[in-house]
Amino acid sequence: MSDLIWTGSLNERYAIGGRVGLYDTTLRDGEQTVGVVLSPEEKLEIARLLDGLGIERIEAGFPRVSDDDRRAVELIAGAGLDAEIWGFSRAVPADLELLVELGVEASVIESPISDRKLEAIGVDRETMLGRITSAMRFAAEHGIHAAFFGVDSTRAEPDFYTRVYASAVEAGAREVVVVDTLGIASPEAVAELVGRTVEAVGGEVPVHFHGHNDFGVATASAIAAVRAGATWIHGTINGMGERAGNADLGEIALALRALYGVETGLRLDRIREAAARVQELSGYGLAPWKPLTGETLFRRESGAVASQFHDPPSIEPYSSELVATERGIVLGKKSGLDSIRIKAEELGLEVPEERRAELLARVKELGTRKRGLVTDDEFRELAGG
């Protein structure tokens, strides 16, 4: 795939290499996007898409939330997917007992650990620590592969944070998750906290990173976490989630591969199709210029760019083939003579060179008047007039 990525040599000294796993939480944290409601059958469809993308761990949902969420977990767990199917639970006995009843073999188990969160729910540190260790012991005793998930861990008091994570592992947690619940940590701070967590829990315990995008740095923070030793990165399709959303798994996978030489196993050639279907099922749209999945990424209106359209590496950082989409010229106010030539050839129209300037003027005028693009049919009409 390296011949489809045109980033040059600037990044070489910052390469990380190796491989990390992707943990998808579209069906739980992603569904927390305002106004999004997915049926169990729709969640199963999305889970199949995720599995086809090569995502190795899929969080099927939080079964105690509702009967539908419980049903979704059952459907996905029984679908015979290649991915590991994970549940989600609080450090609450009823949640954990339901995991056992459903036969869930792996689950994230969450508890708030920052003083702000603890004060908000009226629980002191020692009481919460007791709940956490009790939950981890329960999971271990009942054969649940548990990952401790410290809610708002990026705002937790450092000594208590270290104590909580070490205690969770001692009590039976097999893995741990560094959680930037409100997206408040800079990438540098994420790297520091992940590195400190790796040291605190020992090299044999996998460390995850779960980030949100409130300050627009979720992808950068995920990469910083990988550099610091995280072996699993959480996120969602299209970065969906409440507030500013979660880290976007597709963007992270592309950046890790193209800029840092890190493999994730994500099928980039399927990501745009999966992202479009998740949008359709969820009922939201994306900015057309969104990285990786935006509809305008490989469409060119600028005349200056159209003059180089024949040489993709001169105007694009990676090939459209990498993400299985097509390139194209569109016409409007910003078009140039090369735009007219290319579009005419694409549509099989005979437009002599001496007519292109006049046709370009008409295209620009129509695009300006419409405050948008000139359609192919409109161009045919202009070219024939």
Report whether pLDDT(1) > 60.
no
Tell which residue, 360, 313, 361, 369, has the closest CA to residue 339.
360
Tell which residue, 41, 59, 40, 61, has the closest CA to residue 50.
59
What's the mean pLDDT in 250-258?
A: 98
pLDDT in tens, 12-64: 999 999 999 999 999 999 999 999 999 999 999 999 999 999 999 999 999 99
Number of H helices, E strands in the chain: 14, 10
Tell which residue, 119, 101, 122, 111, has the closest CA to residue 153.
111
| Predicted local confidence at residue 203, as pLDDT | 85
Alpha carbon distance 224, 219 (integer Å): 9
Tokens found for residue 339: 């735009």
What's the mean pLDDT in 102-126?
A: 97
- Contact call for residues 163 and 193 (beta carbons, < 8 A): no
Alpha carbon distance 256, 364 (integer Å): 40
Domain range list for the chain: 2-282, 299-384
- Residue 168 pairs in a beta bridge with none
What's the mean pLDDT in 93-120?
A: 96
| DSSP per-residue codes, 338-354 | HHHHHHHHHHT----HH
What's the mean pLDDT in 195-205?
A: 94
Long-range contact list for 68-71, CB < 8 A, 24+ apart? Answer: 68/39, 68/40, 69/40, 70/98, 70/102, 71/40
Alpha carbon distance 57, 234 (integer Å): 9
pLDDT in tens, 84-105: 999 999 999 999 999 999 999 9
Report whether pLDDT(264) > 60.
yes
Q: What percent of the chain has pLDDT over 90?
A: 97
Tokens found for residue 322: 């990498």
Report whether pLDDT(384) > 90.
no
- CATH code at 2-282: 3.20.20.70
| Predicted local confidence at residue 385, as pLDDT | 60
